[in-house]
Structure 1
């Protein structure tokens, strides 16, 4: 096998994709324009709390504010889907290593359970209950249900919360914790917060979380799927001239446009305190430059009989391979930044496996037929 085949196999081994679960559309019975319906059931004053649409796609409403010199109050409300709701506190916007308050209404007698958790990973065992660094005020943590709406309330004993990011999560619909261990969340979001100003950016605005998903989806589709398919078209279907050429430039062109839009969206996301985001951005810029060079290559493409055609081939092929490989590497970094679950990683792994096997099959078939790729 030649270098081009080795490139296909190398790309196969390093690919992985973001998880894109569709938002769960639900009605909202609580809003910031109305008074807190369960204020009489919460053991602290809620009248002067800030209120924000914390997570629009899940109808999360967050009320928070300072009560006294060293006390901060929080009330999170969300539709009751027969599972838990959670709010975490993180210094970098990631779930791992954060402390979280989670609550649910048990199926046995409708008792409310509100507990602190330390998030050490994605499995239930790595998120033990009654652990974490939140300085909870005793006897203020509870969860209540009214009109199919959950209200998780608690207070922190601190002059100013030290965590710059809030994380929201919701469990799988109809799935309650077992022995107080949480099942893996079905969806999550994060937002940066300015406690003193009472402002949130990110998921709190109801758009940045969706923008982050669109960023990942477009870049992954453009650079992680269409580009490898376009390479395969140019490599193995040249006998179908000129179909292969128009298919190749159409697929690569669509991949470039989707990737470009995804990168532009990515630069508009809030990334304060997020680990590795500078590396992620830098690689994204390099990919964009390589993609632009490929567009330029299309317009300066010499005829096949030209003496410089071999140098153009080297330039076009290797810049293209580098762009695709960097794109897939950057998907790895994006997954780490987003702290996504591994469900869709498997799906993309299956795509890459099928793509790689197809490359191998077509390569062997072409080699046996003695086809010349020059």
Structure 2
């Protein structure tokens, strides 16, 4: 029987995968100084173009790559790993998440310093919420109770909830950021949307496969005196 948090995360993961085409058409509104009127879409200075591109790259590396990899790594430690391998998985998870927080913080500083933030659109509002949740998640991670203590279960649920929120909102905001970039520069984002969609689909598939891999391997093995059945 699946525990509730596993069921919820699987549903969330499937929601991301099957909602990708919808996100491709998400939010055509302007995004602060990233998107002004369509008439000046071509009047982007090389310096501003570099800053927008670097901001997008930092947030993709943080929320679109390192954060999901950190989730996959810690999931691998849940398959009965013990001793040195468990420590390796945990440290890899911590390093990936800390790097993700640092890159997201650098992207936030760039946004505050170089862009006009009126927070009148989805991209900036979601981004603001994400920055807060990311740092809250980092703080919660450092304050984890000892395994087996009474506070461990509620802590784990809170940590998982925040992580799920960051993963879902991060994917949505990367798509909306690509659309903002396209509107500001009039450049095609088709290739980047396709590549990111493939990446998210692969990570989601690998996440879902982790739970089933052991079961798949056991399909060709008869356990004990269990008779072979055609099911």
**What is the rounded CA distance, in whole Å, between the counterparts of 1:14 and 1:245 in structure 2?**
31
Which of these residues, 69, 87, 95, is aligned with residue 250 of structure 1? 95
Higher relative CO (Cα under 8 Å, sequence separation at least 6) belongs to 2
1:330 paired residue number: 173
- For 1:223, the equivalent position in structure 2 comes to 63
Aligned residue-pair number:
192
Query: Which residue number in structure 2 is paired with residue 33 of structure 1?
Result: none
Give the deviation of 1:277 after TM superposition: 5.7
Unaligned runs of 5+ in 2: 25-34, 183-187, 219-231
Bigger fraction of residues in strand: 1
State the secondary structure of the residue aligned to 1:304: coil
Q: Distance in 1 between matches of 2:150 and 2:64?
A: 34
1:4 aligns with 2:6: no
Alignment equivalent of 1:281, drawn from 124, 133, 156:
124
Check conservation: 2:175, 2:193, Cα contact below 8 A: no
Residue 294 (structure 1) aligned to one of 129, 133, 137: 137
TM-score, normalised relative to structure 2: 0.73
Cα contact 1:11–1:325 (8 A) shared by 2: yes
Cα deviation for residue 14 of structure 1 reads 4.6
Matches within 5 A, 1:136-147: none
Take 1:271 and 1:308, find their aligned partners in 2: how far apart are those partners?
42
In structure 1, distance between residues paired with 2:68 and 2:13: 8
TM-score under structure 1 length normalisation: 0.46
Higher helix share: 2
Q: Does 1:303 align with 2:143?
A: no
Which sections of structure 1, spanning at least 5 residues, go unmatched?
19-91, 99-162, 168-189, 192-202
Greater CA radius of gyration, 1 or 2? Answer: 1
Quick one: distance in 2 between partners of 1:216 and 1:225? 12
Describe the SS at the equivalent of 1:307.
coil
For the pair 1:347 / 2:195, whether they are aligned, the reply is yes
1:46 corresponds in structure 2 to none
Measure, in 2, the Cα distance between the counterparts of 1:365 and 1:259: 33
